[in-house]
Amino acid sequence: MEKIVIEGGNRLIGEVSVSGAKNAILPLMAASILVDGWNVIRNVPSLRDIKTFRDLLLHIGCEVDEDPEEKTIRIRAHEITSFEAPYEMVKTMRASILVLGPLVSRFRRARVSLPGGCAIGTRPVDVHLMGLKKIGCDVTLEHGYINVKADRLIGTRIYLDIPSVTGTENLMLAGVHAEGVTVIENAAMEPEVVFLAESLNRMGAQIRGAGTDTITIEGVRELHPAEHTVIPDRIEAGTFMIATAMTRGNVLIKNCPLEYLDSLNLKLKEAGVDVRAENSGVRVIGDYPLRSVDIKTLPYPGFPTDMQAQMMAMMTISSGLSVITETVFENRFMHVGELKRMGADIIINGNCAIVKGVERLSGAPLMATDLRASASLVLAGLVADGVTEVSRIYHLDRGYENIEKKLSGLGARIKRINSE
């Protein structure tokens, strides 16, 4: 079992590059099911979730050609041999649900395991299924599987009770071949949703309004493959911004999509961190004492839930009291217990965590529970006295490419060991 071992106390100094966005790549890999030819995706990092999705595409009959050197993945759905996403694959990654929309769109049928819950919540898919029913699908649930079939897909207005990110993406993918116009209201507005709409339009779709709460999809008969270059990962970028601030560092984060990080940027400045655009990136300087700030996670453009755990790590050593409210997921405080083992002063009250800044954290053996929680433990280890060991780092590898290499390149004393 691999672990990450950190000796805290070093400032992060230097330059680091942000990789392609996992949450933009996965829906685009799913979109490749819609076309017979080779869909080309560039700027693809080596991440566990991307490998998992690749295996799912191979399982249903897609051909996948990867070039890790070129960070490129090519996908062709020439002959789909299965319309089923099995439980063994879906249970490891909820985003597998994204094959539902394209399979229904192109083949009018799909059988996808219900994703089940995960560490951060029950994570139902009712929004996805409601939308499919609205455009004419027959949806039944049996033996833990979602069975979908449709004779015709008819465009209509769909209102999402929750602006679900993958729910919006699935329904866009389902609507591209529906007859007439499909309007998704209360749609998610994340940059990754916009990227998917732009990518589908490159493939011949007619989608307007992505990035607003109303997305209009005019059904077309045929799509064609295209070449796509993935947007940078705003969550990875934000993670490095916070790491720099916490260690009182000075780092240029290259190709950092600051335009997608407004809410984080404002909160970092409120906390006393110097953030400024420089060349095609962002320079972060954490010379100043950190002030506690209050955070409330919200759908985009609100403060991202995927940055909550990392921001909490920073608040554990800021001067004052911070109230962190998690409104998106029902159980996204799994990192609190581990941070408290390092001496953090945190009280949970429902979906609020009250964080009182302490002088120093102390290193300890910790266990990662989910992707972003594991990132927050690494950040805490960077500033803690002594040695911190983070186990179960397969959570980390789902969404961060070589994080220990990138951090040690900035001066952190961090390494990956095999604990056997």
| Interface residue list for ligand EPZ (CB under 6 A) | 22-23, 26, 94-95, 121, 123-128, 162, 164-167, 305-306, 328-329, 371-372, 399
CB of 412 to ligand EPZ, least distance (A): 22
* C-beta of 94 vs 248, nearer to ligand EPZ: 94
CB of 161 to ligand EPZ, least distance (A): 8
* C-beta of 164 vs 216, nearer to ligand EPZ: 164
* C-beta of 39 vs 239, nearer to ligand EPZ: 239
Annotation marks residue 62 as catalytic = no
Selecting among 118, 137, 256, 352, the annotated active-site residue is: 118
CB of 240 to ligand EPZ, least distance (A): 15
* C-beta of 53 vs 363, nearer to ligand EPZ: 53
* C-beta of 319 vs 331, nearer to ligand EPZ: 331
CB of 163 to ligand EPZ, least distance (A): 7
CB of 22 to ligand EPZ, least distance (A): 6
CB of 53 to ligand EPZ, least distance (A): 9
- Three-state DSSP string of the chain: CEEEEEECCCCCEEEEECCECHHHHHHHHHHHHHCCCEEEEECCCCCHHHHHHHHHHHHHCCEEEEECCCCEEEEECCCCCCCEECHHHHCCCHHHHHHHHHHHHHHCEEEEECCCCECCECCCCHHHHHHHHHCCCEEEEECCEEEEECCCCECCEEECCCCCHHHHHHHHHHHCCCECEEEEECCCCCHHHHHHHHHHHHCCCEEECECECEEEEECCCCCCCCEEECCECHHHHHHHHHHHHHCCCEEEEECCCHHHCHHHHHHHHHCCCEEEEECCEEEEECCCCCECCCEEECCCCCECHHHHHHHHHHHCCCECEEEEECCCCCCCCHHHHHHHHCCCEEEEECCEEEEECCCCCECCEEECCCHHHHHHHHHHHHHCECEEEEECCHHHHCCCCCHHHHHHCCCCEEEEEECC
* C-beta of 122 vs 206, nearer to ligand EPZ: 122
Residues with catalytic function: 118
